[in-house]
A and B are shown apart, each in its own frame.
Chain A
């Protein structure tokens, strides 16, 4: 490494791999991964979310798992937490739906209403 530019490039790349450790100021996407979730197929949803987030290099987004959210019959459930906004709960998710959520909600800021719990109960 011979220049400051090279140093900065290494820094950017390395930071990207470590952003999980910072207190997240950005968006948290949480997938229910208890027995109910896993048996309903939450793992492919989780994998799809991770792939999309990484593909688009969304550095302020962390994807993690949680236990049973409570609405077992509606699993797989994905919750999106954004500071300053209300939590959005997506139910009955699939890998395909998850990819759409990443594109429309996380990247473009438009909640995909038809997948939310509000829409389901109607």
Chain B
């Protein structure tokens, strides 16, 4: 008999897991048993809550009491004071929930107020390793209704009506993609889920896979029914071991309960899903390269046409969609396409999950209706820039995207508006930069990544990006030459026009957009040999401020290059030629007398 009076939800996503959330759960279950509360309090490991900055996260229901930064050493106190005696542990409460005489529920916190969790609806709410919890919140209802009461064309129509666009970055209308694959006649078709998530700093898909894997499985089965496929593959990057394990558990449970496998819901529709692991190549997130990889070959993109919906995996019609796109499908069927259209904008209905990172207070995962402005995301939900620094730019779309400066903070976010500004929506990585970030260095960071990950098949990308990277390297080391900017601009155009796949075609975006909005920074690096943000090491001089220096000699004693000299109790001096700019002197100086300029 169920006597539980409290459910304790602890985040088991990769972020909190690496801060020992699994040990927290272990200790909590132990202590609860010790105090004989195990029949009253249930501990559940859930998926990502989104507020990663405050992890490890824990919520106690029914009140919705939100604890953050929980450590294993805090567990005993929580069990004794809160569960046994009824006194919530104030020092662990998320600061915003503490009101005078009351503790706000986690759902009323500013971070969540402006969010609309659709793709993330179950993350942090259910136990992803228990299929029954997914079913409790209407899981598999959509699949059941589709295979018993709807025709494949009706299913495709629902997706078309919803206006859902791919969330992997390109924003292609999902309903149209399914319809294309439906039209091509073949006895074998495939459904593939792109769970490679290669963009640095992006973890939206990871959180969905770890927190609500069944939503992806149900959506893939729906797609299979719609286009006439009986086999699905989830291509997941090997760097996500928790996601891999949760997916496999989910697949096994789904088969056990009969929602995957032969004759689903008693019809003659059968669907199976297998996992395929990536091996660390960014290019394998590109649809055709991904399929080459599944087929056992080196991940290199194919010429298109034919598109993968026509000739994809093993040259058969294949539907490939991103994790987040699939996560939206079951709820579109449950609540109807009109409901989905009521959220977001006309051309971009629905929501988008963003992974907020960089110089921002609330790093984590946020899901907002399309049309929310950048300012709301960064300042209202994200909590603004820490340490009182000024906002400089926000980068969206990872290595394929661009930077957006503060003049455009009030832009409503959707596919078209971001393209107009010279960036892209991308898969949802959003990196915030402040006054201390150097935009040339940022462009170099993303380009270096692209150079590493280029598969090498086509010349423009293989050689072009390398040349651009060399130019940026010279610029940031103080060896920039007049004409470098023009060379970058010309190379960008050529590479974009002639590269074989999206990786090459978008590789120049970070450079083009930083040149558009921050050209002055490039010019300072090249003509004045300075870095305005104070970031590029080789362009900085380390200088001792004479008025502040007391001549204690600590810096000189710690300098690995013996570049500092001076008499005792007299101001010291750094030899620029010998200085290797390691910063050891700055760290040591007790008088803050050394500056970088």
Q: Flag if B135 contacts A4 (CB, 8 Å).
A: no
Which residues of chain A from 62 to 113 have a CB within 8 Å of any chain B CB? Answer: 62-67
* Contact sample, A vs B, 11 pairs, CB 8 Å cutoff: A1-B258, A2-B265, A7-B265, A10-B136, A14-B133, A18-B136, A21-B7, A24-B62, A34-B86, A46-B5, A65-B86
> Which among B4, B85, B107 is the interface contact of A34 at CB below 8 angstroms?
B85
**What residue in chain B is nearest A10 (Cβ atoms)?**
B135
Q: A7-B135, A14-B135, A20-B5 are in contact. List 13 more A-B contacts (CB 8 A).
A: A1-B259, A7-B265, A11-B138, A17-B136, A20-B4, A21-B7, A23-B105, A34-B85, A38-B85, A51-B1, A54-B1, A55-B1, A64-B62
Interface of A is mostly: helix
- Write the chain B residue with the least CB distance to A19: B62
- B105 to chain A: closest residue by CB: A23
Q: Which chain A positions have C-beta within 8 A of B2? A: 16-17, 54
Partner of B5 from the list A13, A35, A65, A67 (CB cut-off 8 Å) is A65
9 smallest CB-CB distances across A and B, nearest first, come from: A14-B136, A33-B86, A14-B132, A65-B86, A15-B136, A1-B258, A62-B62, A21-B61, A20-B7
Mask of B134-166 contacts with A, CB within 8 angstroms, 1/0: 011111110011001000000000000000000
Contacts of A4 in B (CB 8 A): 144-145, 148, 265
How far is the CB of B129 from the nearest CB of chain A, in Å? 14
A17 to B141, CA, bound (A): 19
- In contact, A11 and B86 (Cβ under 8 angstroms): no
A121 interface residue (CB < 8 Å to B): no
Judge whether B125 is part of the interface by a CB distance below 8 angstroms.
Answer: yes
CB distance from A122 to the nearest CB of B (A): 29
Whether a CB of chain A sits under 8 angstroms from the CB of B593 is: no
Q: Please, what's the 1-or-0 string for B3-30, where 1 marks a CB less than 8 Å from any CB in chain A?
A: 1111101000000000000000000000
Give every chain B residue within 8 A of A11 (Cβ-Cβ): 135-136, 138-139, 141
Q: Which residues of A contact B548 (CB under 8 A)?
A: none
Knowing A18-B136, A66-B86, the reply to whether A1 touches B257 (Cβ < 8 A) is yes
Number of A residues with CB within 8 Å of any CB on chain B = 36
Closest to A38 in B: B85
- Give the complex CA separation of A64 and B4 in angstroms: 10
User: Is B435 an interface residue, CB under 8 A from the partner?
Assistant: no
Known: A7-B144, A23-B107. A64 touches B7 (CB 8 A): no
Which of the residues A3, A20, A33, A67 comes within 8 Å of B62, measured between beta carbons? Answer: A20
Report B3 CB to chain A, min CB distance, Å: 5
Residue of B nearest to A66 (CB): B86
CA distance A65 to B263 in the complex (A): 47
Residues of chain B within 8 A (CB-CB) of A66 are 86
Interface: B266 (CB within 8 A): yes
Whether B86 and A18, one on each chain, are in contact in the complex, defined by CB atoms closer than 8 angstroms, is no
Please determine whether A63 and B5 come into contact, CB atoms closer than 8 angstroms: yes
Asked whether B87 is an interface residue with its Cβ less than 8 Å from the other chain, the reply is yes
Interface flag for B40 (CB, 8 Å): yes
Over the window 26-58 of chain A, the binary record of Cβ atoms lying under 8 Å from chain B Cβ atoms (1 yes, 0 no) is 001000111101100000001100110011000
Is residue B63 within 8 Å, beta carbon to beta carbon, of the partner chain? yes
A46: B residues at CB distance < 8 A: 5
C-beta contact mask, B181-221 vs A, less than 8 Å → 1, else 0? Answer: 00000000000000000000000000000000000000000
List residues of chain B with CB within 8 A of the CB of A28: 62
Q: Is the CB of B141 within 8 A of A33?
A: no
The one of A3, A47, A54 that contacts B266, using a Cβ cutoff of 8 Å: A3
Judging by beta carbons under 8 Å apart, are A2 and B62 in contact?
no
Q: A51 to B126, alpha carbons, bound, how many Å?
A: 25
A37–B84 alpha-carbon span in the complex (Å): 12
**CA of A34 to CA of B62, assembled, Å:** 18
Asked whether, in the complex, the Cβ of A2 is within 8 Å of the Cβ of B135, the reply is no
